[in-house]
Amino acid sequence: MQFRTRAIHVGQEHDPATGAVVKPIHLASTFVQPDSSMTAAYDYARTGNPTRHAFEKTLANLDGGTRALAFASGMAATHCATMLLTPGDEIVTGTDIYGGTWRLFNRVLTERGIVVTAVDTSDTAAVARTVGPRTKLLWVESPGNPLLSITDIAACAEIAHRAGALLACDATLTTPALSRPLQLGADIVMHSATKSIGGHSDLLGGALVVGDADLGTRLHWLQNATGAVMGPLEAFLCSRGLKTLELRVLAQSATALRLAEWLVSQPAVRKVHYPGLPSHPAHALAMRQMATGGTIVSFEAAGTVADARRVVESTRLFQLAVSLGAVESLIEIPAAMSHGSYAPEARRAVGIADGLIRLSVGLEAFEDLRDDLAAALSRA
């Protein structure tokens, strides 16, 4: 079956008790046991809940995995994956990554004995030089955030596996609708379901998806032991989000490409980052790994940082907010907002200019979004 058919039917069978075509939301925290052996399918909702399982089953299928685990947030999912490591182990991570991931790795895990080494993962040779015998986890994000760098996932999988490490891929920006890292050799796929999977800016959630059953069992053990599971209401909304995921992401990507092309032609714009543009340094690789260039565009406006701030503060349809991937378009300044948790020197070393502007392109009409940006750029 095709992706969008599976998104609607796998794990989402009708409710046999009532015939309801939409699965009920199971709020129960505990489940009656037929006997004291605790072998029933469900016992306590931290360990498992039918509404969460329905979402996990659909997502695992869409990502080409065998198991998905749903978490209270993307950061909870990322944190759970890092709990596979013990003090002295090393994470090699990209430089162009989500600000919260940077903070977890460099401010929380390093204080607990994990060694964190950052490398530009879009440079495969540099990754190969950096991954070593103590590396247990290679963590990549492709496209990167907010510069939309592209990392060769298949090459990174080979490098990680040669060193006996796992490759984890934060696939929040692509979602299984655009890219399936497990099929490229990744061991763990992480999603912030808060973004495109939920898709409507009305929930927090995260997920890990794996192909290897033993790894799935270990991660589920850690998830249950530490407790940051997704609630049933969020799981219901995520299942609903998956049903329209492909349609939304394809439509948003098409608008993002048109906006990127339009931005390139604007004298008030100095530089545009979008993997769907042939001028992107890794356009060919991006198009091999992704069905489209994605829904995020970033650009540097000509002029000062103050001018860039005026641009983001004067759009009307693009709302000034962090987050991404939802039906409504958002605009922000990564250096001050989504990536404010980076150390300023790290931000500059990576090339995140203070005046860089990031767009999350929603489902509004291209013409309206273009006119909104044109008006804001002319006001700056």
Ligand X SMILES: *Cc1c(COP(=O)(O)O)cnc(C)c1O
Q: How far is the CB of 190 from ligand X (least distance, A)?
A: 7
Compare residues 163 and 219 and give the one whose CB is closer to ligand X: 219
Q: Does residue 23 have an active-site annotation?
A: no
Q: How far is the CB of 141 from ligand X (least distance, A)?
A: 6
Q: How far is the CB of 175 from ligand X (least distance, A)?
A: 11
Handedness of CA 183, 94, 92, 192 (dihedral sign): negative
If DSSP codes are grouped into helix, strand and coil, which group holds residue 266? Answer: coil
Measure CA of the first residue to CA of the last residue in the chain; give whole Å: 49
Catalytic residue of the set 63, 120, 170, 372: 170
Q: Does residue 195 have an active-site annotation?
A: yes
Query: Which residues are bridge partners to 297 per DSSP?
Result: 359
Compare residues 154 and 228 and give the one whose CB is closer to ligand X: 228
Pairing of strands 166-170, 188-192: parallel
Compare residues 108 and 305 and give the one whose CB is closer to ligand X: 108
Compare residues 206 and 380 and give the one whose CB is closer to ligand X: 206
Residue 239, CA distances (Å) to 162, 179, 235 in order? 36, 19, 6
Q: Does residue 129 have an active-site annotation?
A: no
The residue sitting closest to ligand X, measured at its beta carbon, is 74
Q: How far is the CB of 5 from ligand X (least distance, A)?
A: 27
Q: How far is the CB of 46 from ligand X (least distance, A)?
A: 19
Give dist(CA 273, CA 301) in Å, integer: 12
Catalytic residue of the set 23, 67, 98, 152: 98
Query: DSSP class of residue 340?
Result: T
Pairing of strands 206-210, 188-192: antiparallel
If DSSP codes are grouped into helix, strand and coil, which group holds residue 262? Answer: helix
Residues 6+ apart with CB under 8 A from 203: 193, 194, 233, 234, 237, 238
Kindly list the residues in this chain that would bind ligand X in the complex (CB under 6 A).
Answer: 73-75, 98, 100-101, 141, 145, 170, 172-173, 192, 194-195, 204, 206, 324
Compare residues 49 and 194 and give the one whose CB is closer to ligand X: 194
Tokens read off for 245: 């995921």
Give dist(CA 10, CA 58) in Å, integer: 5
Are 293 and 349 contacting, i.e. CB atoms less than 8 angstroms apart? Answer: no
Q: Does residue 98 have an active-site annotation?
A: yes
- Residues serving a catalytic function are 46, 98, 170, 195
